[in-house]
DNA sequence: TGGGAGTAGTGACAAATATCAATTATATTT
DNA sequence: AAATATAATTGATATTTGTCACTACTCCCA
């Protein structure tokens, strides 16, 4: 192990990887930010030292300072409830933002915990806001990402309000699969970083129900599951089982006819 | 009936009521927008002719042009599903915005329908965005409102994921009560503009269950209900029944200790 | 001013999922 | 590497809520 001093001299947080060299650049900053604009943004972004499994990025009730972008690993958002339970409100994979729900009240309504070792970019919000006033493209990007989050929460509402246990798990797995695929990973084979408990909680189901559904899916030949390791054999069928989701179907939205 | 020509000369949409004279000013635009800034904002806001019960502001799949603020009446947002059903994603009361979920994809993922005659301000988004680039306070306000919506969707997620039928209806009624109260109406007596069907749909319950819960609440002396007319007798108990909600408890968030 | 469509309320029953209990597998700790 | 805690699975049973059937009420609107 190198002497304490050396690691202090070159702390991890200083070993910056430029946004432009980040594999998530297209996901995190899809709008055309270039050259000088990007450099100025990078000046305010802080790369935090990797967070270890179980570490918190923030707790419910903490005052709001920054939003965060996941670079690697995965983060769970949850609201602790009075009874000592929690409600999981989301999982954040690389390229995704968290903390947007804290802007209004300048306080984090939920806690964020690493499900595995993860690295995260911290974007101090005040500085980001100041910079955005000069670079409107940043505002536009933030607003688009927030709109997306609202949209996705609506999808989750449909899931919780209308879908059966089977549809919920299918929709969940399909969502995870799509998100990994978009980031260049396999859509059909991945490790779930969250426990069955977390999945059940997020989907509004008991753990046991989640387990049973995994078993059923495996018996049906839809996928193979061994603990956290998932291999999907029939992605199309999985998507079908997940049921209707609002969004583009080909180039049109579905069911305009019914509305 | 006056001749066609006359009504064309002075269309309702021209009879503008200035934002500064609107009773919802403090809710809709709580940030300090004043003088010239406000005038410029008003120039782009269009007051639409009142929409009648059943009329749509937009349909799922429509391309996105504007966000809307409710001035009076109430609007229901819902996602039509393939099976011809719908999932109600929200109710919008005076002073509340809708359409924020459409910004990302420049398409409305859901439909918006008036539950009763309503009047609505239309804010053309492109113009709003251009103006926001000059008046950062507008951007800040929009971002705050979007953050609030994300936060509220999380609360709804807890409701759908964790609460019993009884807790759901109690939470719903308490929410409606609070929102009316904030707008200067009675917190304990109001008319529900939405049907039992819509309520059940929104809460993830069957209509019959909603009916039964209303009956139970009435039998318990919690409230009186006659169709859409509600009189709450014990607001505190209603709140208690609604169960935990993330948010400020006094000046602190609850359950930091557990997290 | 009916008459019909939609809306609301109630009971009986069914189904889905939660809960409880027990077992096994897997991590984590010492 | 054993010991202990945690997580996952499975079966049996309980409970909640949904579904179906029927009745009553209301509000349009022709």
The 3-class secondary structure across chain B, one letter per residue, is CCCHHHHHHCCHHHCCCCHHHCCCHHHHCCCCCCHHHHHHHHHHCEECCCECCCCEEECCCCECCEEEEEEECCEEEEEECCCCCEEEEEEECCCCEECHHHCCCCECCCEEEECCCEEEEEEEHHHHHHHHHHCHHHHHHHHHHHHHHHHHHHHHHHHHHHCCHHHHHHHHHHHHHHHHHHCCCCCCEEECCCCHHHHHHHHCCCHHHHHHHHHHHHHCCCEEEECCEEEECCHHHHHHHHCCCCCEECCEECCCCCC
Cβ of A57 under 8 Å from any chain B Cβ?
no
pLDDT for the residue B58: 95
- B157 to A132: CB separation less than 8 angstroms, yes or no: no
Cβ of A140 under 8 Å from any chain B Cβ?
yes
Residue B228's nearest nucleotide, by CA–C1', is: C8
- B146 to A144: CB separation less than 8 angstroms, yes or no: no
Show which residues sit with Cβ under 7 A of nucleic chain D.
A 195-197, 207-208, 210-212, 214-215, 225, 227-228; B 164-166, 204-206, 208-209, 227
- B253 to A160: CB separation less than 8 angstroms, yes or no: no
Check residues B127 and B40 and name the one with the higher pLDDT.
B127
- B140 to A150: CB separation less than 8 angstroms, yes or no: no
Mean pLDDT, range B184-202, rounded to an integer: 96
Cβ of A248 under 8 Å from any chain B Cβ?
yes
Cβ of B9 under 8 Å from any chain A Cβ?
no
pLDDT for the residue A23: 66
Check residues A84 and A124 and name the one with the higher pLDDT.
A124
Residue nearest to nucleotide C15 (CA to C1'): A164
Range with the poorest average pLDDT among A132-136, A143-147, B98-102: A132-136
State pTM to two decimals. Answer: 0.89
pLDDT for the residue B246: 65
pLDDT tens, residue by residue, A86-107: 999 999 999 899 999 999 999 9
Say if residue B74's pLDDT is above 70.
yes
pLDDT for the residue B252: 38
Residue B53's nearest nucleotide, by CA–C1', is: D28
pLDDT tens, residue by residue, A183-196: 889 999 999 999 99
Among A residues 92-111, those touching chain B with beta carbons less than 8 Å apart:
100-105, 107, 109-111
Min Cα separation B4/chain A (Å): 31
Mean pLDDT, range A230-234, rounded to an integer: 97
């Amino acid at each position: 192990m190198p002497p304490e001093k050396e690691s202090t001299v070159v702390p991890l947080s200083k070993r910056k990887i430029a946004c432009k060299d980040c594999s998530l650049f297209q996901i995190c900053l899809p709008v055309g930010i270039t050259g000088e604009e990007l450099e100025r943004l990078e000046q305010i972004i802080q790369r935090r030292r990797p967070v270890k499994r179980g570490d918190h990025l923030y707790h419910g009730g903490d005052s709001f300072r920054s939003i965060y972008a996941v670079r690697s690993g995965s983060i769970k958002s949850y609201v602790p409830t009075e009874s000592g339970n929690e409600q999981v409100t989301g999982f954040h994979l690389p390229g995704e933002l968290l903390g947007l729900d804290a802007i209004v009240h300048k306080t984090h309504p939920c806690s964020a915990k690493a499900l595995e070792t993860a690295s995260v970019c911290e974007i101090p919000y005040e500085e980001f806001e100041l910079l955005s006033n000069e670079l409107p493209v940043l505002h536009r990007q933030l607003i688009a990402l927030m709109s997306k989050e609202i949209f996705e929460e609506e999808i989750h509402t449909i899931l919780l309000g209308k879908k059966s246990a089977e549809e919920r798990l299918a929709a969940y797995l399909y969502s995870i699969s799509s998100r990994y695929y978009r980031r260049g990973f396999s859509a059909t084979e991945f490790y779930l970083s969250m426990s069955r408990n977390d999945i059940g909680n997020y989907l509004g189901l008991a753990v046991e129900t989640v387990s049973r559904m995994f078993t059923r899916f495996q018996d049906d030949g839809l996928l193979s599951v061994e603990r956290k390791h998932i291999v999907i054999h029939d992605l199309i069928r999985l998507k079908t089982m997940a049921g209707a989701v609002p969004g583009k179907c080909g180039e049109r939205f579905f069911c305009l006819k019914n509305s």
